[in-house]
Structure 1
Amino acid sequence: MDELQRLSTSKGAERPELGELFENVIPHFASYWKDIGAFLKIPPEDLRVIDKDVPGNCKECFYHMLDIWLETTPSASWSKLAEAVESATKAERMELANTEILLKERYQNTRFTGPDEEIWPLWPDKPELFTSIALVHHKNKGKSTKAVNAMAGFRRNGNISTMPNVLRRSRLLSLRQNMMRNSTELTAEYLAHKTINKNIADIFRPTDDLCSPRVILIDGAPGIGKTYLCKEIAYQWSQGQILTHKRFLFLLHAHDPRLQSLKHVKDLVALFCDFKNEETIDMIYWHIKETQGEILTIVLDGYDEFYGGLQNDHLLSCIIRCEILPKCGVVITSRSFACGSLCGQADRRMEILGFTSNDRQDYIQRALEKNPDDIARLTNYLDSHPTVDSLCYIPLNLTILLQLFTENDRNYLPQSRTELYKKFVDLTITLHIIKDEKMYKQPQRGDPFKGSIKQKLAQFSYNALRKAHVVFSFEEVSRVCPEIVQNSGRTIHGFGLLQATQHFTTNGPTLSFNFAHSSVQEYLAAYYIQSLPDDRQLDLLRDTFWDERYLNTWIIYVGLTQGRSFAFKHFLSGNQFSITSRLFREFHIDQRILQVKINRLRLFQCFKEAKNETMCKSVGESMQNNQVDLSGETLLPNHVVTLSFFLTQSYLLDWEKLDLSKCNMQDVGCGILWKELASSAKSKVRIKVMNYPGNKLSALAAPAIANLVQSCETEELYISNNLFGDEGAKKFTSHLSSDTSLKLLLMDGNNISAGVAEEIEQELTTTTSLHIVGITSHQLYVRNEPGDDIAEVLRCYTALSKFSMCNCPVDVEHLETILDLLFKNASLHTLHLSHIGLDKSMVKLLVTKLSSLRCLSDLSLAEPKLAADDVIDNISVSSTAKIAIISANKILARHSTYLEIAKFLRLHSSIRVLEIPKCLPQEEQFVDSLVTAIGAASWIQEVDVSQNQLGPIGVQKLAKAIKDMPGLKSLIVTGPAIIGHVGT
């Protein structure tokens, strides 16, 4: 319209050309051609002929009409055409504006119904809640089919959805394992790869190439805030805070059964807008279509709740794929397991994180601000119950816990997921019964009535879950549960567990019903399943246990039955016979189940929920016998709690090995594991070998790892290839007790600098139990008789530059193996051997091997029991190399670190000869080191520092040093640098 106004202003009374009209007018106003023609006084019979000759093509009709107008109207002008268009479009513009106002008023004024506000004042349908829900933007560059499909490997409550033909390493990791970390830690770690937002406007920000994302996919766990996010998007649009360029926003709920019948955009407009006539619907439809959807955003909540899934030929599928309305914006929320097929179409994928530890504490303080004692009591409770704590990153779970805390016995709070929902459902029904009695003065109704209501709701939930239904009509609910239907009017309160949602149709508003949350429906379904006969339970287990959609239901089912259900034990045994055969007698887990990683993690959550000692013992034995391999898993907080539970409850106190290599356990997992193992009241768990390489652990985890080693009496620790850095390495060693039982420590690949590695080596010398220490990938220290482990460790090092071995007696065969492995490291330049039991027969072997080392620049060999000449006369090293050979009574050193020689001299009074010829540079620091070394032993009889460059100052310092050496018989200091200074 703006372009037409400009032409009208600039050309005014000029006569248009048909070509100009075709280019500037026809594409934009074709749908109004009849109204424009009537204004321009085109005869009605001509309009009818045109419509008949060119049916269904507005642009062609408009073209022929304007051609007739130009031929029959000598006074045709741009201004007259603009006036006609203005008149024809005025009604539509008013209708469009009214529709926009209607939608915005709906989102501003219509309260989204939730649980009874009077009973549940803390329910998370509050404006301030969203500020505590973090969104993570996963950057998706180069969306190849495999890489994009791999994005569907999201984690739902800690489980990996099955994606065929996708490598594990290509799956993107969920961030939910970080829910117990604060916002600062999260931001620092993921800034380079993912962007964390709490501002809804950031969802729609342009991408790196300055393009606005058209399809945005947002996933999250049940109860984490997906529906609330959709409501908030609609509300902020209505307030003009976001998407100001969009005239319309349609908020759709996937569980709405009316969506199933959508075939055309016109159907969508008719469904969503409360219009009185077909012309208005057509007007909105044509405007949306003509702009290719650019004025519209569709927010689709709960993609996973589509009955039977969203089919490829469905209208919404076509819009997502750009086949219809290619400029329409689409926001989709879903549980993670269901949205894999959408990843290929999404321009942006985001994940709702829920509460970080800081958010959670803020929410608790806000809810309990009137009673500070309650804040401290609830915080202490969560600290002492990691299972419940690990669930509270989900706002729904934390809100339920707060309601139970404020309404129930504060000393008897839930200790598992099952108890959380059980107490919530029971308390909600009870409170609503009490409310009904006050309102309607009905007689007191006791537990039998409450149990009957719960059982009927449970049966209804189960039947709906089996059909993948989450929304119900009034007739469906009243038919199954007549007790919860009020006698006066067609209303349902559902005892706080069912809620009503209002929809708008062309026939007026209507109501549908759904449970307060899908997790409540899943709990009730599990409650019903455990009441079925064993054979029915077994059939259900076999059909749906590995189905991601039923995960929460089965975890709660096992929690309700505490794993004692005969059907469940029969299912775990892998027995395919009918349960009525009773062939299964004792508890047994089919090893095939435990060896399939995707299944195993799900199963472990069930065992944890059951707290069944027999199951724990069986799993513990399988883990101890290496029948369960956890390496390569992603261990979220609830997984770590589960693992800790097995370790402490299986009554197997001594564990040979806990292998969590490349598990991506993260820092918080180490803290949970240590807290759980250290606080176990039932047993003292001892783990001989802990294997944590490649877990991306940072300096934050270092203290927890040190404490774990201490509390579990660990002898071998592998924490290589993590992210400790210098800070983490220092923290670890500072927290490591000097009386630790640790014998082997490998922490290479942690970006530890050489200087810090030297400091740590010195600090660990007080830890007498440590035999093998690998601090960097280039430095390895072996001492105190570690046995054959030396060779095994050496095989892991391919780029070794420094190797030290002290107090480790070896035989010829063992020495040859070690040297062969060492010399495969082409970059080895430092070799320190001390007290390795080298005898005269082994010297030749050593000399032969040393001759093949081209990069060796620092050699130190200390073997006091060996005769001096046996070593010194046979070993020849380049004159440019540092060398220190210490035998029974003689030290030969060149370019060496003389402070180290000084330390050795202080410990060995048998040394009589010290030779440091032809190598000392003139720098003062080396002179001082030399003098310190010579002055370290008063018993030295011969000192040879000939052919050096001591200079006058060095000679003076040497003279002072030998004054305290009464046993000195021979001092050779000749050389050109001291001529003229002998008198000194």
Structure 2
Amino acid sequence: MVSPLSPDTGELVSPQPGETADDWSGGQSVEKILTKFSLFKRDLDKPTISDDAVFKSLELNFDYQLGIHLGLSKSDVKAIKNDHNSDQNRVVSLFWRWQEVKGSDATYLSLMKALIECENKEAAEKLCQYYQDKHQKSSTNEFKRQFSHPALPPNTDHVKYNHSVSSPEKMSFTNEFQKQSSHPTLPPYIDQPKYNHSVTSEKVMLEENTSNDAWKIFDRYHDQLVNILRKDAIFCDSILKILTDKFLIGIAERDAVQQLSNLDIKIKAIVRCVSIFISKARQPTRAFVKFSAIIEEFGNFRAIYEEMKIKASAVGIIIKTPAKLAKAKEPPSLTSKGASADFSDADDAGHDESLLTPSMKKYSRYLKSCYKKERPDRKWSLGNVPSKIYINLAVVCKNEDYRNPFSNSTIHGTNDDIFGYKEPLSLEELCRIEYGDAILIEGAPGIGKSMLAFEMCSRWVKGEALKKYPLLLLLRLRDRVIQNCKSVKDLLGCFLKEQSWKDAAVQDIIDNGGEGLIVILEGFDELPEHLTKRGSLFFQFSNELPCATLVFTSRPSAKHYLKNEIEFERHVEVIGFKKENIDEYIEKFCNNNSEHIATLNQHLDESPKVRDCLYIPVNLVIVCDIFQKYIMSEEQVPFKGIVTSTKLYEAMIKMLLYRHIKSQTQELVRVDLHNLPHPIKEKFTTLCQIAYNGLRNRATKLLYYADDDFETLGMMQKEVQVYPGTGDVTAYSFLHLTIQEFLAAYHISQMQKAEIEVIFNKLKNVMKFKTMLCFLSGLTGLQSITPHFDHNLYKLNLFHYLYESGNESLVKMLFGNKDEFYKVRRLIPSPSPQDMFILGKCIALSSCQWGLSFTLRGMTFEHIQKFQTGLFSVECDLSCTIKDISFSLNPIGDEGMMELLKFPEHVIKNLVSLQLMSCHLHSHAATEFSKELKKFSSLKTLFFHNNLFKEGEQLCLIEAMIPLQYHYVTLSKLSPDECEVLLTKVSSITEVYLYQLGSSSIEKVIECLPNSLSLEVLHIEQSHCTPENLSLLPTTLPSSTLTKLELVNCAIDSSSVRTVIDAVLMSPHLEALNLRDNFIDDEGSAHLCSMLKQLFGLSEEPATDYDSSYSFKKLKFLDIGHNPFTGHGISSFIDELAHFKSDSINFILSLSLGWKDQLCEHVSFTKAEQHLKFECNEDN
């Protein structure tokens, strides 16, 4: 029984003497208690969804039966009990799970009935008292409460919310507000989130909406979000941290926002960052849902979340929370300096025997006996491989700065998340996995993902890791039997034959929700394409087995399918061999023969392409085997000719062929695959046909079944599968998928040229076939193939194909028109340094014009260095023209600036636009840039704001602009002197965007307006503008040449806006005024309304008391969006606009979308509609 605690003694309270069973259960008890508190059923028949405090007010102890009476499943209640050690934590998680499962049916009334059914009358009465105190208020107070922090009962404990990876503790209750190392704890009086983000994953059940309805919904609630965040600075900082973790705000943007000292300006900046992210996202709907998942977890935002969810549903965006059991927990330490290689006591303590039924125990023993007989997938090894295996891992951290030595040392890593900060990770740490987690392990082809999966399985069998999991399923997804399974139930039993306990074991796993089960799905990228789509069986584990732990391994090419469907708690990258591993491997391979080691290293030094690829173990094995064959035959090692992956794998295939026929007398380098001896040629052709058939039509087939043995030429491995219902089946697979891709490419290369071109252009943008088409490009040289592509390039596949082909003439032909303009932008996946080298080389061979945008692509100085190397890699003079480059929002640092300044002179002198916003640049970068600025003779646009400069550190750069023809400049944190030089000395400048100005600098900017003779646009943002520092504006603005004035997010209030309007009314040139994202309330709104006719030139009355000699030019555009006007203030604008008589007046008043619904219902709306603009998407 669930009983309340006595407020005096803390002991359990039992039913009082004389009370009958009817007093504790049934409808009569409900009516009696309601009558006692003067309540009706309709009063309590309301959702508790936005009221977390009710749970704490009841002071309950955890009890299994309460969860059952609330309608939860047995597995849910059992999982909650197992997940938490604290009784209070269990109670809170129980109620949160109830709210999640029941949604709007989780009412106060149903809670009250459940308490009475559990014979807890006192708690039921407390619930009524709580409801009466909290909810029987006026509707006006209830509306206000939605925008404030709900008060918690006195003397209650509060949930401590922490995402730190440095603490293995579960969610706990505390009365103290403690700072966390990586995720700030929210203050005690703020409603806390229910669960960790990663287990409240939201799914979008809709194709992408091209009209960006998702952003429009967000914009409607923009101002309400600001109002909530303004109430507490600590809460604001915590939300900023969470948004950064969830990739709604980049690290560079976070740094810029955190520097803002004014809380109101900081809040506006945060919300605007989210707005821009959703607007500009490749998939805005998914970005919106990700944001919704964040705010849904905070009681402060719950009312807004529910409204947004309804709005989204109305336009077909369905936000659906999966049935996966949410757990309040924190991940184990991964990055702590003191992390031990040994498991903690909790990790080392084996599984809970209560989870196991007799049939599950049998299944566990059976699996271990099966795995003991297995060997590592032989595709890893090709022969004489040292016994020691290296498994180097990195965990991708989403919440840290990624300017660290380890991240920079793993440049070969394939992870394409924008925020690529990595921490080293041991295998022991990887194996510390919580129940219900989902882990993604990614890595390049041949880097050791399959070996890692086998090693995890082996350690489980030996009892060295994953001890708390009684069951482990290793599913190799390339296997036909696995792919043919029709249900999760089939997958759970795929290892069993006709055991009498098979059905019972599978059913027990399902009944337990998968608790205690870990499933390793190895090789997701090797599935046929139809099995990687939404609705695939392999995505159903988390729904049908919410407590099961999932580990996926995949190439990066298939990662986007996974991330679209699954929210991963941890993202791990297999980074392959480091230099010391390579050296050690070579020493062991050469049996410490110093002469052989020196000779091999000499050849590698002469072939950088070969050495660069050795971080992939399979490639290292290939190179060592090739070297060994040539040493033994005393032939010249052919590394000098290997400059592409195609050449490397061609040499490897030749080596395999000659290993098979055991011939070491022929010179391998002189053998042509096109002229193989009979019968090798026929067998090789057959293998290539098999490889091609396995990859064609996107239906990947990696295992081949045969009754009889057939010749594989040493390129395939044979295994016997014993899956149930099939008997003993002989299966063949290629030593590695990359070998199959090469052979498939070779098969295509033997087709007719027209057929090759059709296949190439059909598959060229499919990431799954990128490796195969790279090989095809290398084998054919792309002769007689004309790749089809458009002028906007979002992937680098084309450049890889061209580079592999070695066909420089084709590159020159494709990009030879000097009048053509190509844009490379928003690259997915994010480019590696080697990608940048290839791109640079291809551009250097071209004659056309380029626009390159690498904004927010996780670039470092090494990327720029490699790009520069590529530009210098051609012998002929450059004839290409790079018009604009953007490295904004990348941590290139001062080193990156130094590399950029080393670009070829031809590139620098033709550059028109350079964007270096938020690039972590310091004063040294500004100084060096200023010395070279004259070389940028064509530069007209420079984005340079939100870097790490202090006031005065950019003066040298601004002075260097004076003799040049700059038109458009963005800068931040300028001193008054810097502002004066910029506005009065750089005579060509027409547009200036200034950020984070101090009070004195704002005054200096306004003072200099009359002396800036060519300035047309002035934009000031994130700078606190007061009536005092704006006081000169009515004097200087009329004497300026400005046509547009933008004071965005400058904390302008109703007092300051009067000064601005007075100045505008005196300006003879101004046509546009932007006051967006400020704090102009109804008082300021009333003043603006009274001035609309004057502003838009519809009144003949003098506007101000200032000098009437100025000829005022009517305003054409006024933006007052995202200011805190109330409904009354907004209605005043509509009424005023409705009285405008002339249809010939051409002006626009831009308002927030949040006002649109109210204005559309206003009687005067139709008359004013032609002058209103609402849907001003941030992307425009």
Opposite residue 416 of structure 1, the aligned amino acid is T
TM-aligned CA distance change 1:101 to 1:113, over 3 Å:
same
Question: Matched residue of 2:618: which SS?
Answer: helix
TM-aligned CA distance change 1:392 to 1:625, over 3 Å:
farther
Q: How does 1:426-575 map to 2 (within 5 A)?
A: 426-434=654-662, 447-466=677-696, 468-475=699-706, 482=710, 484=711, 494-506=712-724, 510-541=729-760, 543-564=762-783, 566=784, 568-569=785-786, 572=787
Could you say which residue in structure 1 is the equivalent of 2:922?
726
- Paired residues of 2:380 and 2:451 also in contact (CA < 8 A): no
Could you say which residue in structure 2 is the equivalent of 1:40?
none
Which whole-Å CA distance do the structure 2 matches of 1:436 and 1:314 have between them?
52
Could you say which residue in structure 2 is the equivalent of 1:216?
439
Which structure 2 segments of 5+ residues have no match?
A: 1-62, 67-73, 76-352, 631-636, 667-674, 1003-1008, 1026-1034, 1048-1180
Opposite residue 752 of structure 2, the aligned amino acid is P
Which whole-Å CA distance do the structure 2 matches of 1:465 and 1:536 have between them?
16
Could you say which residue in structure 2 is the equivalent of 1:136?
396
Which whole-Å CA distance do the structure 2 matches of 1:851 and 1:786 have between them?
12
Which whole-Å CA distance do the structure 1 matches of 2:647 and 2:406 have between them?
21
Opposite residue 629 of structure 1, the aligned amino acid is K
- Paired residues of 1:657 and 1:689 also in contact (CA < 8 A): yes
TM-aligned CA distance change 1:110 to 1:552, over 3 Å:
same
- Paired residues of 1:526 and 1:553 also in contact (CA < 8 A): yes
1:114 aligns with 2:378: yes
Deviation at 1:299, TM superposition (A): 1.3
Which whole-Å CA distance do the structure 2 matches of 1:349 and 1:21 have between them?
28
Which whole-Å CA distance do the structure 2 matches of 1:185 and 1:383 have between them?
18
Could you say which residue in structure 2 is the equivalent of 1:893?
none
Which whole-Å CA distance do the structure 2 matches of 1:379 and 1:180 have between them?
26
Opposite residue 517 of structure 1, the aligned amino acid is H
- Paired residues of 1:710 and 1:737 also in contact (CA < 8 A): no
1:100 aligns with 2:364: yes
1:396 aligns with 2:618: yes
1:244 aligns with 2:438: no
Which whole-Å CA distance do the structure 2 matches of 1:793 and 1:389 have between them?
51
- Paired residues of 2:379 and 2:736 also in contact (CA < 8 A): no
Opposite residue 772 of structure 2, the aligned amino acid is T
TM-aligned CA distance change 1:455 to 1:290, over 3 Å:
same
- Paired residues of 2:1010 and 2:1039 also in contact (CA < 8 A): no
Which whole-Å CA distance do the structure 2 matches of 1:176 and 1:386 have between them?
26
- Paired residues of 1:337 and 1:548 also in contact (CA < 8 A): yes
Deviation at 1:644, TM superposition (A): 1.8
Q: How does 1:594-613 map to 2 (within 5 A)?
A: 594-598=790-794, 601-613=796-808
Which whole-Å CA distance do the structure 2 matches of 1:340 and 1:327 have between them?
24
Deviates more, 1:704-713 or 1:454-463: 704-713
Which whole-Å CA distance do the structure 2 matches of 1:775 and 1:544 have between them?
42
TM-aligned CA distance change 1:632 to 1:547, over 3 Å:
closer
Residue from 923, 948, 953 that aligns with 1:752: 948
TM-aligned CA distance change 1:413 to 1:186, over 3 Å:
closer
Could you say which residue in structure 1 is the equivalent of 2:1129?
none
Which whole-Å CA distance do the structure 2 matches of 1:98 and 1:304 have between them?
32
Which whole-Å CA distance do the structure 2 matches of 1:786 and 1:314 have between them?
59
Deviation at 1:719, TM superposition (A): 4.5
Deviation at 1:367, TM superposition (A): 1.9
Deviation at 1:213, TM superposition (A): 3.6
1:229 aligns with 2:422: no
Which whole-Å CA distance do the structure 2 matches of 1:293 and 1:269 have between them?
10
Deviates more, 1:213-222 or 1:235-244: 213-222
Opposite residue 136 of structure 1, the aligned amino acid is V
Q: How does 1:653-664 map to 2 (within 5 A)?
A: 659-660=852-853, 662=855, 664=857
Output the aligned Cα RMSD.
Answer: 5.5
Deviation at 1:180, TM superposition (A): 8.9
The number of residues matched between the two structures is 653
TM-aligned CA distance change 1:657 to 1:262, over 3 Å:
closer
Which whole-Å CA distance do the structure 1 matches of 2:686 and 2:737 have between them?
17
Which structure 1 segments of 5+ residues have no match?
A: 1-19, 29-88, 141-172, 439-444, 485-493, 573-589, 805-812, 830-843, 856-984
TM-aligned CA distance change 1:626 to 1:692, over 3 Å:
farther
- Paired residues of 2:403 and 2:421 also in contact (CA < 8 A): no
Cα offsets for 1:584-632 (capped at 9, x unmatched): xxxxxx5xx222424x63222211211222321134335x535211243
Question: Matched residue of 2:375: which SS?
Answer: coil
Which whole-Å CA distance do the structure 1 matches of 2:868 and 2:64 have between them?
77
Which whole-Å CA distance do the structure 1 matches of 2:424 and 2:956 have between them?
39
Could you say which residue in structure 2 is the equivalent of 1:614?
809
Question: Matched residue of 2:543: which SS?
Answer: coil
TM-aligned CA distance change 1:739 to 1:789, over 3 Å:
closer
Which whole-Å CA distance do the structure 1 matches of 2:761 and 2:849 have between them?
35
Cα offsets for 1:859-905 (capped at 9, x unmatched): xxxxxxxxxxxxxxxxxxxxxxxxxxxxxxxxxxxxxxxxxxxxxxx
Which whole-Å CA distance do the structure 2 matches of 1:712 and 1:305 have between them?
42
Which whole-Å CA distance do the structure 2 matches of 1:517 and 1:784 have between them?
63
Deviation at 1:214, TM superposition (A): 3.5
Which whole-Å CA distance do the structure 1 matches of 2:683 and 2:403 have between them?
36
Which whole-Å CA distance do the structure 1 matches of 2:923 and 2:64 have between them?
72
1:637 aligns with 2:833: yes
Which whole-Å CA distance do the structure 1 matches of 2:459 and 2:752 have between them?
51
Could you say which residue in structure 2 is the equivalent of 1:281?
502
Which whole-Å CA distance do the structure 2 matches of 1:315 and 1:674 have between them?
44
- Paired residues of 1:458 and 1:524 also in contact (CA < 8 A): yes
Which whole-Å CA distance do the structure 2 matches of 1:205 and 1:381 have between them?
42
TM-aligned CA distance change 1:657 to 1:497, over 3 Å:
closer
Could you say which residue in structure 1 is the equivalent of 2:1118?
none
What TM-score do the two structures reach when normalised by structure 1? Answer: 0.55
Question: Matched residue of 2:775: which SS?
Answer: helix
Opposite residue 696 of structure 2, the aligned amino acid is R
Residue from 300, 315, 322 that aligns with 2:521: 300
- Paired residues of 1:108 and 1:235 also in contact (CA < 8 A): yes
TM-aligned CA distance change 1:847 to 1:372, over 3 Å:
farther
Deviation at 1:700, TM superposition (A): 3.4
TM-aligned CA distance change 1:641 to 1:265, over 3 Å:
closer
TM-aligned CA distance change 1:470 to 1:794, over 3 Å:
same
Q: How does 1:659-674 map to 2 (within 5 A)?
A: 659-660=852-853, 662=855, 664=857, 665-674=859-868
Which whole-Å CA distance do the structure 2 matches of 1:288 and 1:222 have between them?
34
- Paired residues of 1:417 and 1:609 also in contact (CA < 8 A): yes
What TM-score do the two structures reach when normalised by structure 2? Answer: 0.47
- Paired residues of 1:794 and 1:822 also in contact (CA < 8 A): yes
Residue from 636, 643, 646 that aligns with 1:415: 643
Could you say which residue in structure 1 is the equivalent of 2:548?
328
Deviates more, 1:263-272 or 1:458-467: 263-272
Q: How does 1:828-907 map to 2 (within 5 A)?
A: 848-849=1039-1040
Deviation at 1:694, TM superposition (A): 0.8
Question: Matched residue of 2:646: which SS?
Answer: helix
Deviation at 1:678, TM superposition (A): 3.6
- Paired residues of 1:119 and 1:431 also in contact (CA < 8 A): no
Which whole-Å CA distance do the structure 1 matches of 2:962 and 2:683 have between them?
67
- Paired residues of 2:893 and 2:922 also in contact (CA < 8 A): no
Which whole-Å CA distance do the structure 2 matches of 1:290 and 1:785 have between them?
71
- Paired residues of 1:693 and 1:719 also in contact (CA < 8 A): yes
- Paired residues of 1:219 and 1:352 also in contact (CA < 8 A): yes
Question: Matched residue of 1:434: which SS?
Answer: coil
Deviation at 1:526, TM superposition (A): 0.9
Deviation at 1:415, TM superposition (A): 0.7
Deviation at 1:400, TM superposition (A): 3.1
Opposite residue 396 of structure 2, the aligned amino acid is V
Identity %: 19
- Paired residues of 1:461 and 1:522 also in contact (CA < 8 A): yes
Could you say which residue in structure 2 is the equivalent of 1:367?
585
